[in-house]
Amino acid sequence: MITRLAGFDPSINTFFNALIRELGPVEYRASHQDANHGCFVLHNPLTHERLLVPCLHRSGTGRHTLGTHLVREAGNHTAPLDFRSALEWCLKLPDIQHSSSVTSRQRFLGRVLNSHRNLTHINARSTGQHRVTRLETPMTFIDGERALINGQPDHPFPRDRGDMTLGESLCYTPELGDRFPLAWYSVDRQQLTKSQAANLGVRALTAGLFDPSGPQTLAAHPPGHVLIPCHPLQQYHWQANPSIRRLQGQGRVRFLGMGRADWRATSSTQTVWSPEHDWMVRFSLSVRLQGRHRHISHAEANRGPALSRLLERPALRRWLRQTAHFAILREPMTLALCDKDGLELDETRIIFRENPFQGRRDERAEMLATLLQEDPEHGQSRLAMALARHQTSPRQWFQQFLDRIADPLLEAQSRFGLLLGCHPQNLILGLDSRFLPERVWYRGAQDSVSVGPERASNTGRDRQRQAEEEAAIRLFCHDLVVDSIFNIIASLTRAELCREGELLTLLKHWLMLRRSAVHQDSRAMDYLLASPCLFARSTFLANLHDPEAPDSAANGGPLCCPVPNPLSTSTSQWATMSLTESLENVRRAAV
């Protein structure tokens, strides 16, 4: 029987998990009955006040389950705080004041509160179709995409929709929206730039995305023109762009109308899916999600075709055939409109991604992020509830995840220098009738990096290249282990299905066995097994500054947040080490 955690609030958990990780070490007061229950204590040395954040389950992996009864202490006096008051209290901490401006703190507070309002609204509107623990029938691919209600678990404002109106959210977000049409344009080929990996024609690629009986067909074949889709949320921005308006006046860009309403937003909002088409489509969006506008950069647009070309190399093709349970969704073509000078318009970039989830093929294909998120009704995950219902061993599930999902991802790194951004939203698991993971689809070519073999040269250029590769390997390990595997461990142990130390020991021994068998690049496994700290993206402090900055950690930039590595110590050491001691060791190691 799984324990139901009373008083669970997604906003409190995402905000304070991010803060505790980045502003640590944070004092932890364990209860007398259970060391995993207690509270985190934030100190303000200027006011001599303390904020107590209750902890329902403390995890050595850093993903804690937090309660809602926030309390301010001042001397012997205590008073409860609501969420907004607690946010305002935290933003007065000296470390936060020193690393931000009044304007940035006000902007940050507004985005956290916006996310909180949206989460409250989403959960109030969610029906049985959206519940993450709906176990009577298996989820389809799009069910899992729509059921990611809480968003990123360690982001201070995971459901900030920025400048989207309520009406737009009700139409175009995965949690609230339904089917919608795409807008269609006829564009002069000379006003298009493209990057592609295969011999794909734009006309042939887009022809399968619209209803052949619709109005687009009548205007689809002017001399030198091709059809281009546009997200309806982006339609206004295309029409308002002076360069596009100039091209429309010249007849080089023509708006044809709306297609059939058979598209739905996936969990990223930017990417749309239909059960009837061979391609998903990812769009630049000029709306702010999680603090930054979602324009596809030139570098992101080129990574899909580059990865597709890489996967056509004979060695990788043979390996993918042999590893049939592991698939990489290809993004072989990207398009963008360009202005009269041939410069690409950021807000018009489009990426085409393979869609294997059509017909009945999308059943039991569930995103890892959805499997791991807490249900606001009781604080437990769909994964934990499903394993308990099907009487599936959590240890068996975890072992099979390592063997069938983590193993090919590490092999791609060690054998081919291919680093895939395998965070939980990029991993779609194929589950069997007992909920065991049988296969995986990796998506997210824009998060992939290819590095060469390890270099031994001491030249300045090679040292710089080596440092860049080490940073890329750390990012890969963050996505695979900190974001994915550690969150699996936290999800299973929070439900008391198994002990955390047991799964950490299993993971450590599994990595050691893989390390002993690898004869190519072992840098990822060496880092995971030996480093006293693992580096993660900053989501709290980075968003407190400028999340739009190209090199900010919030925007996929450098890793800058050290977190304790429970794999670098023995199980007995880990079990007896307090979180404060562990974080202090991490800070010393980072320096």
Instruction: Please give the Cα distance from 63 to 488 (Å, whole number).
Output: 10
The DSSP string of 181-232 is PPEEEEEEGGGEEEEESSS--HHHHHHTTS-TTSGGGGGS-STTEEEEEE-T
194-208 pLDDT, tens digit each: 998 877 778 778 877
SS3 for 393?
Answer: coil
SS3 for 89?
Answer: helix
Give burial (CB, 10 Å; 0-12/13-18/19+) of 433: exposed
**What mean pLDDT do residues 157-181 have?**
89
Helix (H) or strand (E) holding 400: helix 394-401
Determine the pLDDT at residue 215: 55
**What mean pLDDT do residues 469-497 have?**
95
Is the per-residue pLDDT at 567 higher than 80? Answer: yes
Q: What are phi and psi of 227, to 5 degrees?
A: -85, 140
Q: What are phi and psi of 180, to 5 degrees?
A: -150, 160
The full length of the chain comes to 591
Determine the pLDDT at residue 455: 46
Q: Are 223 and 172 in contact (CB under 8 A)?
A: no
Q: What are phi and psi of 130, to 5 degrees?
A: -100, -15
Provide the 8-state DSSP code for 276: T
Q: Are 524 and 477 in contact (CB under 8 A)?
A: yes
Determine the pLDDT at residue 246: 95
Is the per-residue pLDDT at 540 higher than 50? Answer: yes
Nearest to 10 by CA among 130, 133, 119: 119
Rg, Å, the chain Cα set: 24
Q: Are 86 and 110 in contact (CB under 8 A)?
A: no
Determine the pLDDT at residue 129: 44
Place of tokens 């389809």: 140
379-407 pLDDT, tens digit each: 899 999 999 999 999 999 999 999 999 99
For the ranges 20-34, 86-100, 351-365, 561-575, which has the lowest average pLDDT?
Answer: 561-575
Determine the pLDDT at residue 457: 47
Is the per-residue pLDDT at 70 higher than 90? Answer: yes
**What mean pLDDT do residues 315-320 have?**
96
Letter for the amino acid at 419?
L
The β-bridge relationship of strands 333-337 and 350-354 is antiparallel
Determine the pLDDT at residue 555: 46
**CB-based contacts of 238-247 (< 8 A; 24+ apart in sequence):** 238/183, 238/185, 238/347, 238/348, 241/345, 241/347, 243/337, 243/339, 243/340, 243/345, 244/337, 244/345, 244/348, 246/339, 246/340, 247/188, 247/191, 247/337, 247/339, 247/340
Is the per-residue pLDDT at 88 higher than 50? Answer: yes
- Summary mean pLDDT of the chain: 86
285-301 pLDDT, tens digit each: 998 887 778 899 999 99
